[in-house]
């Protein structure tokens, strides 16, 4: 079972409190930014950017992309993202992005995929594949199973809550993004689990049509 997607209005209500938990996202976001390896010629899309934490982490790393666009369904989350450096905020759902084909070299998708229903995951990844350049890359961050008895109990509770009316509590439902990426025309070339902050998957993938040589897959077992 997958959770029903949380509405834009729900995220509008969360926006003012979102910064309170930011520090637990940062360790995985830093790994994800390093995987994205953004250069000054890259056009970057922070998809489901929320308050712009991935973009903030990117700019703090010293990267200066040619263009940085943040897209999200929630107006209030985007209002906060618009304070992040050069980020250009765009309000839109992931399954219907207002960008031409191949508009971006890098797509980041942090702490969002696991919130979507099965159908919405597929629709979002197909749309992100459309706007990504054929030799581009996508980096995804999602929660992974926590370690230890207490961690496993929390992951289990999040999984159960994600299918109920308390689905906002399912925000930490574990989900390995690799199978969904594989199923939608991407090839995963890096996957690792981070156990600092929120236990998280950090994955990088490229369109299967990518001209560049794909390195052997590394990581995945920490």
Ligand X SMILES: C[S@@+](CC[C@H](N)C(=O)[O-])C[C@H]1O[C@@H](n2cnc3c(N)ncnc32)[C@H](O)[C@@H]1O
Query: Which residues of the shown chain bind ligand X in the complex (CB under 6 A)?
Result: 5, 8, 11, 25, 48-50, 53-54, 72-74, 77, 93-94, 110-112, 115, 120, 171
Neighbours of 60 (CB within 10 A): 14
Query: Which of residues 77 and 107 has its CB atom nearest to ligand X in the complex?
Result: 77
At closest approach, how far in Å is the CB of 53 from ligand X?
4
Rounded CA separation 147/142 (Å): 15
Query: Which of residues 120 and 210 has its CB atom nearest to ligand X in the complex?
Result: 120
Query: Which of residues 98 and 179 has its CB atom nearest to ligand X in the complex?
Result: 98
Give the pairing of strands 67-72 and 88-91.
parallel
At closest approach, how far in Å is the CB of 56 from ligand X?
9
Apex 46 CA angle, 40 and 50, nearest 5: 140
At closest approach, how far in Å is the CB of 25 from ligand X?
5
At closest approach, how far in Å is the CB of 85 from ligand X?
15
**Residue closest to ligand X when measured from CB atoms:** 50
- What stretch of H or E contains 188? strand 186-194
Query: Which of residues 108 and 178 has its CB atom nearest to ligand X in the complex?
Result: 108
Rounded CA separation 118/159 (Å): 14
Rounded CA separation 212/185 (Å): 15
């Amino acid at each position: 079972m997958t959770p029903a997607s949380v509405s834009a209005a729900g995220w509008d209500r969360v926006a003012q409190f979102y910064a309170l938990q930011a520090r637990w996202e940062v360790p995985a976001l830093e790994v994800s930014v390093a995987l994205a390896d953004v250069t000054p010629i890259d056009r970057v899309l922070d998809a489901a950017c929320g308050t712009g934490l991935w973009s903030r982490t990117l700019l703090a790393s010293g990267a200066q992309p040619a263009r940085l666009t943040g897209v999200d369904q929630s107006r209030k989350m985007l209002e906060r993202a618009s304070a992040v450096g050069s980020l250009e905020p765009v309000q839109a759902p992931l399954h219907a992005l207002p960008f031409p084909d191949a508009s971006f070299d890098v797509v980041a998708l942090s702490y969002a995929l696991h919130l979507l229903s099965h159908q919405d995951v597929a629709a979002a990844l197909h749309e992100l594949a459309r706007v990504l350049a054929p030799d581009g890359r996508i980096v995804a961050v999602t929660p992974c199973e926590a370690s230890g008895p207490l961690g496993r109990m929390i992951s289990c509770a999040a999984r159960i809550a994600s299918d109920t009316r308390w689905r906002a509590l399912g925000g930490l439902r574990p989900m390995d993004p690799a199978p969904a990426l594989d199923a939608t025309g991407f090839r995963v070339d890096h996957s690792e689990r981070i156990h600092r902050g929120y236990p998280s998957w950090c994955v990088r993938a490229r369109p299967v049509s990518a001209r560049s040589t794909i390195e052997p897959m590394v990581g995945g077992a920490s």
